[in-house]
Amino acid sequence: MSIIKTPVSKRIWRQNIPLFIMFAPILIFFAVFKYYPMLGLAIAFKNYRFIDGIWGSEWIGFDMFEMIFNNKQLLGIVWNTFMLSGLSIAAGFPIPIILALLLNEIRRAWFKRTIQTFVYLPHFLNWVIVGGIVITIFSQSPGTINQVLDKLFGFTFPFLYNETSWIAIFIGSGIWKEAGWSAIIYLAALSTIDQSLYEAASIDGANKWQQMTKITIPGILPTVFIMLILKIGQLMEVGFDQVYVLQNNTVAQISEVISTFMFKMGIQQAQFSLATAMGLFEALVGLVLVVTANFIARRFGHGLW
């Protein structure tokens, strides 16, 4: 009596039907809300008009991209985006790692939970709230710091109206808001390190610093590389909310970035083609940066793919 064997592919399919059913809503979500809207990128190559629609509008090719590269103001906006994002990554990326390492060394559970709560809390505040706090502290007349400076030294400083201090406040507020939340990933990575390694190192006479440099940091290095690749991919993205609530006309020359430009051009002035072209350029640069960063990381054995 012969036994008919089910092909391996069909057997795997049948065994994983529950998983495919669970994955279906996610697939539908990305197809409808992520990939289908990408057809609208055609606006970047058209002289888009509401009355004609996307496909009925006049095809103008790369005219909008030529406008971007030939306009010094638009190139300045691209540079502002790159500069602010680059400084935020350079200054802010190590902070969650350091915070996670410090939290990992706390042995009293109640104290550790208390500190974690305080450093996580800013993440849940909207940028409008955070912006209000920043303005309350650093504004020219009623600002807390300027009131102290006025009473102690008899002068005030325009923190939010000086380009250098504005950049410092922008970067500092971003770190304050997100450092604690970002540290969660590194704390999770730290929890996977085999504790017997620390015991063996302690027996061999290694101090805390040596344990950290020889065991802890190498243990979380793959996670660090993955997070760095993702951050580099966002190099051309500066959060719209943060910039919008903190910028003012005095520092517009360095605070105008791609996200705020797309809002003003696309929503306020209805120049949809130019705004879409700028957004597409931003996305393509981000893609190139991710691929490049991953290629470099693979050289060290820590690539994302």
What digits encode the pLDDT tens for the residues 265-290? 888 888 899 889 988 888 888 888 88
Backbone CA torsion sign across 13, 15, 17, 19: negative
Look at residue 47 and give its three-state secondary structure.
strand
User: What is each CA distance from 226 to 57, 63, 161, 230, 236, in whole angstroms?
Assistant: 42, 37, 37, 6, 18
pLDDT at 8: 64
Mean pLDDT: which of 14-18, 106-110, 160-164, 295-299 is highest?
160-164
For residue 106, the model assigns a pLDDT of 86
256 touches 78 (CB < 8 A): no
pTM: 0.83
CA distance 232 to 11: 41
Question: What pLDDT, on a 0 to 100 scale, did the predictor assign at position 1?
Answer: 46
For the cut 70, the answer to whether the pLDDT of residue 7 exceeds it is no
Residue 93 is given by DSSP the state S
CA distance between the termini of the chain: 48
**In this predicted model, which residue has the larger pLDDT, 16 or 177?**
177
Lowest mean pLDDT among 83-87, 132-136, 254-258, 293-297: 293-297
Quick one: average pLDDT of 128-152? 88
Q: In the predicted model, what is the mean pLDDT of residues 19-36?
A: 92
| pLDDT-based confidence at residue 234 (cuts at 50, 70, 90) | confident
d(CA 78, CA 270): 20
Q: List, in order of start, the domains of the chain with CATH numbers.
A: 1-61 (no CATH), 63-299 (1.10.3720.10)
More confident position, 142 or 174: 174
| Top mean-pLDDT range of 86-90, 138-142, 230-234 | 86-90
Task: Answer whether residue 5 shows pLDDT above 60.
Answer: no
pLDDT at 113 over 50: yes
Determine the Cα–Cα distance for residues 258 and 85; give it in Å rounded to an integer.
11
- For residue 284, the Cα-to-chain-centroid distance in whole angstroms is 16
Gyration radius of the chain's alpha carbons: 25
List the alpha helices (DSSP H) in 16-161: 17-30, 53-56, 63-70, 72-92, 94-104, 109-120, 127-138, 144-153
Separation in Å, CA 15 to CA 23, 24, 32, 69: 14, 16, 28, 54
| Contact status, residue 159 vs residue 138, Cβ threshold 8 Å | yes
d(CA 241, CA 260): 9
Residue 279 DSSP SS3: helix
Stretch 59-83: mean pLDDT: 88
Look up residue 54 and give its two tokens.
């996307």
Residue 172's pLDDT is 94
Q: What is the pLDDT of residues 80-102, one digit of tens each?
A: 998 999 999 999 999 999 999 99
Q: Say yes or no to pLDDT of 4 above 70.
A: no
For the chain, the average pLDDT equals 87
Angle ∠(189,193,199) on CA atoms, nearest 5: 150
Q: Count how many Cα atoms sit within 13 Å of the Cα of residue 231 in the half-sphere of its side chain.
A: 18
